[in-house]
Amino acid sequence: MSRLIVNADDFGLTAGVNRAIAELHRAGVLTSATLMSRAAATDHAIDMALSTPLLDVGCHVVLVDGEPALKPAELPSLVDPGTGRFQHRLSAFVQRLLAGRVREAEIEAEAAAQIALLQRRGVRLTHIDTHKHTHMFPAVLRPILRAAKAAGIRAVRNPFEPAWSLRATPGIHLTRRIELSLLQRFEAAFRQITAEEGFVSTDGAIGVLATGALDATTIASLLTALPEGTFEMVSHPGYNDAALAQTHSRLLASREAERNSLQKIKQFPGVELISFAALHIETAQRLDN
């Protein structure tokens, strides 16, 4: 059986993103969203999450291009000293990380603070992932999982896209394909670390290569090729309004396209839509039997 978690990232980024997530959930095509703890519309997203109990909500841990939950002085290896914010560019963060200049203790503390901020507001968190998939790197994954486990969370996004999904994604520039292919070398470590820490996840994420280009044609191609197993479709729907423009996100018009294109999922009734909470329960039941 083919099973799919449809997750919207960046819950809380703007009211327009929140609105799109709520609409898609009510339409029956979106099963979960991951919430940013320190974004412009976080309060609005929390209110929405509390009033929408069937929407799975995870913590979208931000370590790049955002504002920390802890004081900048507590995160000297993570924040830009000039702004007190995280590094704006993912490439700069990765360079520092791979050079050993980012402290795991700071990652764990900041992730714990972001999770706690949402839980204190009453949000029941079912899973975690990271902004721009930074937890694909072992030096980020380990402290993120420690923070999540301490908060009672035991499900995490598998951010690696399977080969079949990459082949089924049309029209993406060769440079991005090469970038994702190079990052695949971290997948074995991801599976080992999550298993050791007792976390559940999916067989992979689809739509990562198509970020910024997840249109109806691509969704149809991915779902037509979907094999047996459990996968997560990563999406970024929203309304391209003035508030979104102020975030300096590269995903502007594409959020409108995704919001409309995700309705395509309804044309694939053979795909079972599930949540991270259901995945966790089913995994626990399988281990008990």
Torsion of CA 28, 158, 163, 273, to 10 degrees: -20
For residues 284 and 98, the model is more confident at 98
Which secondary-structure segment (H or E) carries 190? helix 187-197
pLDDT of residue 181: 87
b/e string for 2-14 if b means 16 or more Cβ within 10 A?
ebbbbbbbbbbbb
* Res 289: pLDDT: 47
Kindly state the helix (H) or strand (E) to which residue 243 belongs, with its residue range: helix 242-245
Q: Give the pLDDT confidence score for residue 283 in this predicted structure.
A: 59
Q: How many CB atoms lie within 10 A of CB 76?
A: 10
Indicate the pLDDT class of residue 179, thresholds 50, 70 and 90.
confident
* Cα 51 versus chain centre, distance: 21
Check whether 83 has a pLDDT greater than 70: yes
Distance, C-alpha 246 to centroid of its chain:
21
Average pLDDT, the chain: 93
Mean pLDDT of 125-142: 97
287 has pLDDT over 90? no
- pTM assigned to the model: 0.94
Query: So where are the chain's domains?
Result: 2-288
CATH number belonging to domain 2-288: 3.20.20.370
Question: With 70 as the cut, is the pLDDT of residue 288 above it?
Answer: no
Q: Which residues, in sequence order, are CB contacts of 274 under 8 Å at separation 6+? A: 3, 4, 5, 31, 230
